[in-house]
């Protein structure tokens, strides 16, 4: 249904915009990164690993601008996913999108996770 429109959109080398329908017939777009793309390099192992982003479901009532915008949002989400994987603080991927939510729940034992002394004032006590 949306294939002709989506075929007019392109992004970086090695990035592909897939379109399809799920088993219930709902149309979607999805980003695929092949082995030739720089983004296929794993931030943790260094291996080249092709991958796909999350699906963005489309409504049959969407206008062209909405469909094109949905593709852009899928690309932005995939790029932000990579940003979170590659970003390091003290050598650690503190925003890693692959963290297990159950493990995070074990860590987040406080009802309010503002555990910094300066969480309200945002002042630093640097020497």
pLDDT in tens, 6-65: 999 999 999 999 999 999 999 999 999 999 999 999 998 999 999 999 999 999 999 999
**Strand positions, DSSP E, the chain:** 15-21, 27-33, 51-52, 56-57
In a domain, 58, yes or no: yes
In a domain, 123, yes or no: no
In a domain, 35, yes or no: yes
DSSP letter, residue 6: H
Q: What pTM was estimated for this model as a whole?
A: 0.83
In a domain, 22, yes or no: yes
The structure tokens listed for 19 are 């379109």
In a domain, 104, yes or no: no
Q: How many domains does the chain have?
A: 1
In a domain, 117, yes or no: no
Residues 60-107: pLDDT tens digits? 999 999 999 999 999 999 999 999 999 999 999 999 999 899 988 887
> Tokens 């943790």 identify what position?
44
Distances (CA, A) of 102 to 65, 92, 115: 38, 19, 20
Range of the domain at 75: 3-94
């Amino acid at each position: 249904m949306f294939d002709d429109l989506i075929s007019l959109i392109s992004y970086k080398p090695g990035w592909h915009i897939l379109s399809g329908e799920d088993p219930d017939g709902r149309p979607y777009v999805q980003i695929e990164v092949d082995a030739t793309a720089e983004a296929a390099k794993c931030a943790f192992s260094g291996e080249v690993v092709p991958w796909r982003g999350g699906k963005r479901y489309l409504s049959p009532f969407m206008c062209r601008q909405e469909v094109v915008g949905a593709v852009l949002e899928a690309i932005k989400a995939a790029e932000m996913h990579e940003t979170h994987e590659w970003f390091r603080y003290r050598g650690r991927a503190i925003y890693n999108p692959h963290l297990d939510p159950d493990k995070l729940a074990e860590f987040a034992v406080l009802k309010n996770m503002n555990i910094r002394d300066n969480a309200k004032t945002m002042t630093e006590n640097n020497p």
